[in-house]
Amino acid sequence: MTDYINSNLGKDGLTGVPVKVSGLVQYQSGSIVSREIVKKPTGTVTLFAFDAGQGLSEHTAPFDALVQVIDGEGEITINGVSNIVKAGEIILMPANEPHAVKADKPFKMILTMIRS
């Protein structure tokens, strides 16, 4: 079985095996760390780790974006409305709507963008 798994991991080392998602990206002091897990013409899946005090300024994206918080707690503002999101929660950021991300405390999230 190990030979099968090792020969089918793919170049990303993730394909076909279970992994603990929160361990795939680590906090770094004073930084935002990201790791792209899936990059296809139809969409992306990216992990982020935000240290306290870090964030992404208000911007828009041409596609809907689903955020799943996997550790800690953050603030996501959509169209001027602030939302506190915690581990285990999701929030959908609609296409072309201004949004921002802020970490008062360290938190990790998965960002899934589906192009349509």
For the stretch 59-100, pLDDT in tens is: 999 999 999 999 999 999 999 999 999 999 999 999 999 999
What pLDDT is attached to residue 17? 85
What's the pLDDT tens digit per position in 43-58?
Answer: 999 999 999 999 999 9
Q: How far is residue 75 from each of residues 67, 81, 88, 106, measured CA to CA in Å? A: 11, 10, 14, 11
- Confidence bin at 11 (pLDDT 50/70/90): low
Better pLDDT: 44 or 5: 44
How many residues are there in the chain? 116
Residue 80 phi, psi dihedral angles, 5° rounding:
85, -5
Pick the CATH number of 21-114 from 2.60.120.10, 3.40.309.10, 3.40.50.300, 2.60.40.420: 2.60.120.10
Q: How far is residue 63 from each of residues 6, 56, 80, 104, 114, measured CA to CA in Å? A: 35, 17, 18, 26, 6
What pLDDT is attached to residue 14? 77
The model's pTM is 0.85
- Cα–Cα distance between 94 and 88 in angstroms, integer? 20
Give the chain's mean pLDDT: 89
Domain layout of the chain by residue ranges: 21-114
- What average pLDDT score do residues 12-38 get? 90
DSSP output for 35-61: EEEEEETTEEEEEEEE-TT-EEEEE--
What pLDDT is attached to residue 2? 36
Q: Which residue has the tokens 């899936």?
A: 38
What pLDDT is attached to residue 15? 82
